[in-house]
Structure 1
Amino acid sequence: MKQPKRVTIYDIAKKLNLNPSSVSRALNNSANVSTTTKQLILKTAEEMNYKVNSVAASLRTGNNQTIGVIVPHINQNFFANVIAGIEEVTYEMGYNLVICQSHESAAREVQCVNTLTNQHVSCIIISVSADFEDPGHLESIRKQGIPLIQFDRVADELDTMKVLNDNESAAMEAVCHMIKEGYKRIALLEGPQNLNIFRQRKAGYLAALKKYDLPIIPELIVENAWTKELGATATRKLLNLSEPPDAIFASTSDFAALGALEVATEMNIQVPKQLGICGYSNESFTEITNPSITTIDQHSILMGKTIAQLYFSELKSDVSNHKNQIVTLKPELIIRKSTKRH
């Protein structure tokens, strides 16, 4: 089916036998058009279902009230809530959002950046993909004069505005909690170490072991176990060791923790009596599993609001050559039944 042609100011001008510049002035409420002519043009525009081309308008005015957001996945509670927090603030300010997903692909992430820069968005907000390595496409955003805000997963080496979580202290608190509950052989499911958040969470895990003089056991640290399926595979391998762990810290995600819980149930291992499980992110399902899963809430809606507020505060700032702000939020450990022995 052929799509109907979009109505332009030239179509309106042709129908009314007017100059296109007169139509443009009338649609922009210019005082240089008579009231009678303006009313006729507006009436005709409505009848022809004319819609303003916001991209073209932004090129003319240099003001595009659209912000681009790039996330790995929109169907994860954390990213969905961050977007909701951003939108709550941008809506109040009269801005729109364009949301792109990288699906954890660096190549798709580059495509997303190109799409948004071609649309002349006023700002790009990004949490980088799992296989992110080269920050060249992020540098290109800054070279084009577009403000860039990184959140959660960031390129540490780039001097941009950032909104982060204190992942190291949160991870340390979670592992210390498990140690206090009597767990001694705590396994770590870790994510890709090229990403800042997973390096920080591993550092928190190691700091907790050091604090309580517990040994670091390499076979209890499993790389890239960050989906439900990979979490399940890692847990099965861990629980079949000659000396299996008595707790698992799924520092990657609650999905990995869910995979661990399902394997433990399948192997008739009692949680939390025989095995403690802690996740990360406070996905909605963690409250309704049996047992409910201890996790870390990253205050994602607050993070989203903070990101948007950071942009608008920078927009109002008239200070040149100032230092890019880095805002760090404190996550919250939510203790549930999967780690409570006492």
Structure 2
Amino acid sequence: MDLKKKRVTIYDIARALNLTASTVSRSLNNNSRINEETRKLVIAKAREMNYRANSLASNLRKGKSQTIGIVVPRINQSFFANVISGIESITNERNYNLIISQSTESHKKEVKGVNTLINQHVDCIIISVSAEGDDYTHLQNVIDHQIPLIQFDRVVEEIESVKVINNNEQASREAVEHLIASGYKRIALLAGPQNLDIFRDRKAGYIKALRAHKMPVSDHLIIDTGSNNGHDADFIRKLLTLPEPPDAIFASRDDFLALGVLEVANDLNIKVPEQLGICGYSNENFTRITTPSLTTIDQHGVDMGKTIAQTYFDEIDDKNDGTAVEIKTISIKPELIARASTQRR
């Protein structure tokens, strides 16, 4: 097999049939100016020569690539995988392709991914920003290139674009109020990186819930964790071995951190949920099968993905050009999933 075999073009077909390239192109695109005999002749020769249309070149001539780019922190987290699945369920119906890039929480990789998508002339860029970095020039660059930008989940407020988010503050408040209703009185918070609005909102919801129930907000029970996908057993162990340890922990960063709490609690022979309640965030698949199963918050990623894609297509259907998307914020309501790790009553 000759891997370097030259791709057949319309010019090759034109030479073989002694026709002009424009006649071949029109024939392949069923142009009404071409008679049926010529059209059939061109199509037959194209099949004989194994001609394949250059869809990229064709789409660029039309000013559209039929491609959407997505940048997420991590593909292997259920939430982001579900968002992508939701987006794809809509894009498939419209014959659009997806290019997916993950930043792995690296600002440098995020910038590189976005710039690559710009250079690939995608029709829209969808992004959830990484935990690292505070320079968002690359997002403004998307807008400056007149490429519609849709931010979701982790968004940058100062960048004017469509935003599809969860009400993180309300979800966090409901989670803490669930812990209070279950009889827990010293509730600790494992917060995510505070440079991101979603984690600031979750922290705000935690504080509001405590204050609404006239419970103290203790600084030593609030820990701002890093962004790595996993858990830090050292600070969890330190928290659980305080002279007055918490009797519940809300791991608001993610379920992986909640899983870490459960593992350390097991090592210390702390009974869950009798002595310690645990609540995570994201409804990862493993939360159903741990012992005990983990209470968490479902962000409804598939619904969010469908909303993101449908918002884009609704806008281009209205405008017929895809060059602009109305600036708005759409909120998807998360859902508290109460499981055995907090149900001691």
**Fold agreement, TM-score > 0.5:** yes
- Structure 2 match to 1:36: 37
- Partner SS for 1:328: strand
Does the C-alpha gap of structure 1 residues 213 and 314 become closer, same or farther in structure 2, counting only changes over 3 Å?
A: same
1:324 corresponds to which of 319, 324, 327: 327
Does the C-alpha gap of structure 1 residues 302 and 266 become closer, same or farther in structure 2, counting only changes over 3 Å?
A: same
- Structure 2 match to 1:49: 50
Cα-Cα RMSD: 2.1
- Structure 2 match to 1:87: 88
Q: Which amino acid aligns with 1:106?
A: H
- Partner SS for 2:59: helix
Tell me by how many angstroms 1:103 deviates. 1.4
Where do 1:293-312 residues align within 5 Å? 293-312=294-313
- Structure 2 match to 1:259: 260
- Partner SS for 2:231: helix
Query: Does the alignment pair 1:336 with 2:339?
Result: yes
Deviation string, structure 1 residues 204-245 (Cα, Å, up to 9, x no partner): 111111112222222222222455643433311211222221
Q: Deviation above 6 Å: which 4+ runs of structure 1?
A: 319-322
TM-score, normalised by the number of residues in structure 1: 0.94
Does the C-alpha gap of structure 1 residues 116 and 133 become closer, same or farther in structure 2, counting only changes over 3 Å?
A: same
Deviation string, structure 1 residues 120-174 (Cα, Å, up to 9, x no partner): 1111111111114111111111111111111000001111111110000000000
Measure the CA separation in 2 of the matches of 1:149 and 1:328.
13
- Structure 2 match to 1:27: 28
Does the C-alpha gap of structure 1 residues 17 and 111 become closer, same or farther in structure 2, counting only changes over 3 Å?
A: farther
- Structure 2 match to 1:126: 127
Tell me by how many angstroms 1:248 deviates. 0.9
Identity of aligned residues (%): 58
Where do 1:1-342 residues align within 5 Å? 2-227=3-228, 229-318=230-319, 324-342=327-345
Q: Which amino acid aligns with 1:332?
A: E
- Partner SS for 1:45: helix
Q: Is the 8 A contact 1:189 1:225 kept in 2?
A: no
Deviation string, structure 1 residues 298-319 (Cα, Å, up to 9, x no partner): 1111101111111112113349
Q: Is the 8 A contact 2:148 2:324 kept in 1?
A: no
Q: Is the 8 A contact 1:226 1:256 kept in 2?
A: no
Q: Which amino acid aligns with 1:273?
A: E
Q: Which amino acid aligns with 2:153?
A: D
Measure the CA separation in 2 of the matches of 1:215 and 1:48.
78
What are structure 1's unaligned runs of at least 5 residues?
A: none
What are structure 2's unaligned runs of at least 5 residues?
A: none
Q: Which amino acid aligns with 2:327?
A: N
Measure the CA separation in 2 of the matches of 1:266 and 1:321.
54
Measure the CA separation in 2 of the matches of 1:321 and 1:29.
31
Moved more, 100-109 or 314-323: 314-323
Measure the CA separation in 1 of the matches of 2:325 and 2:80.
29
Measure the CA separation in 2 of the matches of 1:74 and 1:48.
40
Measure the CA separation in 2 of the matches of 1:338 and 1:153.
27
Moved more, 233-242 or 188-197: 233-242
Does the C-alpha gap of structure 1 residues 217 and 48 become closer, same or farther in structure 2, counting only changes over 3 Å?
A: farther
